[in-house]
Amino acid sequence: MPEDNDEQERNQVYGLISVLFWAAFVLAWYKYAQPNWLSTALTLLAVAPMAYFTYMVASYVPRDEDESRLHGLKPVLRYIPVIKKPDGHVSFKMKMTWDLVILITYFALTNVMIFGLDQQKTLDLFSEFRAIMAGASGSIMHLGIGPIVTASIIMQLFAGAKIIKLNLTKDEDKAVYQSTQKLLVIIMIFVEAIPQVYGYLVPDSGFISMLDGISPGNGQLLARLIIVLQLFAGSYIVFLMDEVVSKWGIGSGISLFIAAGVAQAIIVGTFNWEPIQNSVIPSGALPKTVYYLTHYSASQMANGGFERMFLSQPNPIVALLGTTTIFLVVSYFQSTRVELPLSHERARGARGRYPINLIYASNIPVILMSALLANIGMFALLFWSHPALQNFPILGHNPLLGYYEPGSTKPSGGLAWYLTPIRGVGDWLLPLAYPTRYLQYTGHGWWQVLARVIIFLTVMIFGSMIFAVFWIETTNMGPRAVAENIQRSGMQIPGFRRDPRVLEKVLERYIPAVTKFSGAFVGALAAGADLIGTVGNTSGTGVLLAVGIMIQMYEAMGKEQMVEMHPMLRQFFGKEG
């Protein structure tokens, strides 16, 4: 048809424009950087796939007005390595085995340091978010779960804003969404790895000299390339391990890694007897408390001992109390739920309840929000101090975006400072309560400290609320998907007609409101814990996530055991086999 031909020709033009955009990008970079032949070849090798992907999307002709252009990526998406789903039911014992194997592998990989890296000169851009981003600084797991979560953020924002028209209730669209997210993970690994290698992950001089002997003049470039490839290998292994846990184990690999890292940091922060640097005082909260009580006199305790024991970093008693409080609060609210009565249409007397947890969106919104703030902090630091980016127009070396002291990854001011997590009462309460004594250490006025508290709380609460809504819609946990799942199981709400539309209207009274509340609640809880402080420098978000993950893991294990004992329940829970 003529209209179809016109649309195809128009989309071909769009595809050519996208290719010309990447060509202009390469030319501008070439003129700016004036690279040698090897750098040029590597850049073309990296840009060529991006140009191809954008061409396929831009030139794709949708079969109808509701189809997304992302379907144009199908010829590429089918070649992305993935973990195959099990053909049948996986036993509880086997799932637990896979979780344990993956966890041991994760801890082992965090101790595999990057070959050819100068560990003394390395800066960790995610130091403020390390407990949440998982991984270990200077290891092949340096990027942690950052690329995975960042890709998830981008896809959720695009899907939630209807920029990509994908109906996630359809199997075909859902498969395209998940495959595109996997492709985006690969892209984000390089997006996060390359800027760090060109500024903060410094190659060892001896390693560079060795490579110069192989290719004169290209030693530093080759050293950086090898480090980037190691980071890619480590990050992609994390991605595959997450898929193994999701498909063959219990829970989520990302959640498992976060909980393991936070638990380790909390134990070390609580019981570590190693002394603080240049001191004989233990760094752990409990050993430090015992030391003060046994070595300080009553007058010494009154003249600063109690303050150092309860409030001073690292690991003060108030942080231990804050960590314990978060554990108890999350444990209580995690078990609070609204239960809808259900009955089976055929089995008379067979009744049950569908639970809608008060923390319905789980801890995923906080993970996504923290990853977003981590990326803002990372790029603020890159634009401030990176040799190639600090001259970038408007953003480069702009103190409004964020400014840093030499050798520091913690912002001293600007937007990044207001969005960086607050680490305990020493960062805000003491400067506000005793400005003459503590405010000078912040380098800011009292109104700036107060504004930082308000802005950080507001961003965490509303950001987590937005991500909660997006998460529910993209994971088939919305009213329509839940109604269809209950309908397929043969259950219905007593007193209502057995119709998915009727059931959906009933669920719409609860799920949207609970989703928004749960997002705001976990955001406020995480930010509040940051204000109080936590042991092990895990951050309030890290403790919140770890507690929530462990509770969910316990509930998932109980559900798996129940399914193991009663195979008929697999249909209701959507299990295979």
DSSP letters for 81-103: --PPPPSSPPPHHHHHHHHHHHH
pLDDT in tens, 480-514: 888 777 777 666 777 666 677 778 888 888 888 88
Q: Which of 526, 127, 248 is closest to 363 using CA atoms?
A: 526
C-beta of residue 371 within 8 angstroms of C-beta of residue 146? yes
Peptide bond into 314 cis (omega under 30): yes
Alpha carbon distance 566, 525 (integer Å): 37
- At 577, the pLDDT band (50, 70, 90 cuts) reads very low
Is residue 98 predicted with pLDDT exceeding 90? yes
Tally of residues, the chain:
577
Give me the pLDDT at residue 230, please.
Answer: 95
User: Range with the lowest mean pLDDT among 102-111, 170-179, 517-526?
Assistant: 170-179
Q: Do domains 91-249 and 321-577 have the same CATH topology?
A: yes
Q: Which of the two residues, 349 and 52, has the higher pLDDT score? A: 52
String of b and e for 377-390 (b: at least 16 CB within 10 Å)? bbbbbbbbbbeebe
Q: How many other C-beta atoms can be found within 10 angstroms of the C-beta atom of residue 504? A: 19
Alpha carbon distance 298, 321 (integer Å): 23
Highest mean pLDDT among 56-70, 115-129, 278-292, 552-566: 278-292
Highest mean pLDDT among 66-75, 455-464, 506-515, 566-575: 455-464
In the chain, what are the domain boundaries? 1-61, 91-249, 275-314, 321-577
Q: Which of the two residues, 188 and 39, has the higher pLDDT score? A: 188
Q: Which CATH class is domain 321-577?
A: mainly alpha
Is residue 30 predicted with pLDDT exceeding 50? yes
Is residue 2 predicted with pLDDT exceeding 90? no
* Arithmetic mean of pLDDT, 185-195: 90
Is residue 420 predicted with pLDDT exceeding 70? yes
Is residue 350 predicted with pLDDT exceeding 70? no
Give me the pLDDT at residue 271, please.
Answer: 92
- At 351, the pLDDT band (50, 70, 90 cuts) reads low
C-beta of residue 427 within 8 angstroms of C-beta of residue 535? no
pLDDT in tens, 259-269: 888 888 899 89
User: Range with the lowest mean pLDDT among 66-70, 248-252, 313-317, 353-357?
Assistant: 353-357
For the chain, the farthest-separated pair of C-alpha atoms sits apart, in whole angstroms, at 93
Average pLDDT along the chain: 84
- At 7, the pLDDT band (50, 70, 90 cuts) reads low
Is residue 5 predicted with pLDDT exceeding 70? no
Tokens representing residue 497 in the block: 């007609």
CA-CA-CA-CA dihedral for 257, 259, 260, 261, to nearest 10? 80
Give me the pLDDT at residue 483, please.
Answer: 79
Give me the pLDDT at residue 122, please.
Answer: 82
Is residue 473 predicted with pLDDT exceeding 90? no
pLDDT in tens, 136-165: 888 999 998 889 888 888 887 787 667 787
- At 453, the pLDDT band (50, 70, 90 cuts) reads very high
Is residue 119 predicted with pLDDT exceeding 90? no
The CA–CA distances, whole Å, from 89 to 95, 103, 164, 248, 256 equal 10, 22, 34, 9, 22
String of b and e for 306-343 (b: at least 16 CB within 10 Å)? eeebbbbebbbbbbbbbbeebbebbeebbeebbebebb
DSSP state of 304: I
Cα three-residue angle 327-101-86, rounded to 5 degrees: 105
* Whole-prediction pTM: 0.79
Residue bearing tokens 């669209």: 173
Q: Which of 470, 480, 464 is closest to 155 using CA atoms?
A: 470
169 φψ region: left (φ > 0), alpha (ψ -120 to 50), beta (else): alpha
C-beta of residue 191 within 8 angstroms of C-beta of residue 46? no
- Measured in degrees and rounded to the nearest 5, phi and psi for residue 225 equal -60, -45
* Arithmetic mean of pLDDT, 128-136: 78
Residue bearing tokens 């340091």: 113
Give me the pLDDT at residue 207, please.
Answer: 92
For the domain made up of 91-249, give the CATH fold: Preprotein translocase SecY subunit (1.10.3370)
